[in-house]
Amino acid sequence: MDTNEYGVAQLSEETLGKLKHIENELRQETHEEIVLIAYKKDEETQ
């Protein structure tokens, strides 16, 4: 992934809540500190 092509995604509260829920599920399954990060493709590079 070329990080110059992506920026941090702006998520709604509802979507952020879903992402955090998935993080928690993965933590329970793996017993690891899992962090999910949301990126979006920059419009200039599409």
Copy the structure tokens of residue 46: 């599409």
Q: Which helix (H) or strand (E) holds 6?
A: strand 6-8
- Domain ranges, ordered by start, for the chain: 3-45
Residue 44's pLDDT is what?
A: 65
SS (HEC) of 18-46: HHHHHHHHHHHHHCCCCCCCCEEECHHHC
Task: Report pLDDT digits (tens) over 1-46.
Answer: 555 789 999 999 999 999 999 999 999 999 999 999 999 998 765 4
Q: How far apart are CA 17 and CA 3, in angstroms?
A: 25
Return the number of other C-beta atoms located less than 10 Å from residue 31's C-beta. Answer: 8
The whole-number pLDDT of residue 15 equals 97
